[in-house]
Amino acid sequence: MNTVLFPGGSLQLQIFEVRYLDLIGRCHKTGAPFGVVSLLQGEEVRRAAPAGEGFAQEDFVDIGTLATVTEFSAPQAGLMLVRCTAGERFRITRRERLKHGLWVADVQGLQPDKVMPVPEDLKVVAQALESLLDNLQQRTDAAQLPVQPPYRFDDCAWVANRWCELLQLPPPLRQGLMQLDNPLLRLELVGDFLSRNGIAGA
């Protein structure tokens, strides 16, 4: 996908490609998660190769995030509307593209972020996020908010992850932040970015 999914995040998808309809349908019925990885080459929707034979090449990063379908509707044949909740991160150890274009992979789960309280010098980052979400709630339907409950403004990883989703960061930077195994460092880097851009006086 052309996005980086962070643990604890929310993702809304419109599914209409044949290669994904069966996958999402099965995941919805069984409750099994599926993997979300960021594209390095190619598009979310498969396109014909420039030479006119087959499809354009696709490549993606090795570290992604599991997603579980939490809301599902099929308003018409060949279209699914879903909301997913992000779980833990994983590393791809083997990948294979099936004939109809769906990628399958063997993955190794990565350690979840440790729960770490937001230190005093970074609480301004959490407060700025809380203020932003309060403002959004006054103008936006709760179901359409980019950040969904439960809110954990006292946790380094949660605060950092939500900022990473909301900020307009270059995909490689967003991916690098997601891959960090130190949630405090991730929050410190986010705080530096906010301070430099005048968003929060961290």
Identical fold for domains 10-109 and 120-196, yes or no, is no
- For the chain, what is the largest distance between any 2 Cα atoms, rounded to a whole number of angstroms? 58
Domain 120-196 has CATH 3.40.50.2300: no
CATH class of 10-109: mainly beta
Is the Cα torsion angle 167, 70, 137, 139 positive or negative in sign? Answer: positive
The pLDDT, as a whole number, for residue 202 is 47
pTM score of the predicted model: 0.87
Query: 133, 152 in Cβ contact below 8 A?
Result: no
Residues 6+ apart with CB under 8 A from 106: 92, 93, 94, 95
Give the burial string for 89-122 (b: 16+ CB within 10 Å, else e).
bbebeeeeeeeeeeeebebeebeebeeeebeeeb
- What is the number of other CB atoms lying within 10 angstroms of the CB of residue 158? 26
Mean per-residue pLDDT, 160-166: 97
pLDDT digit string, tens, across residues 91-147: 999 999 998 889 999 999 999 999 999 999 999 999 999 999 999 999 988 888 889
- What is the number of other CB atoms lying within 10 angstroms of the CB of residue 1? 15
pLDDT digit string, tens, across residues 53-80: 555 578 899 999 999 999 999 999 999 9
- Domain boundaries of the chain, sorted by first residue: 10-109, 120-196
Query: 133, 142 in Cβ contact below 8 A?
Result: no
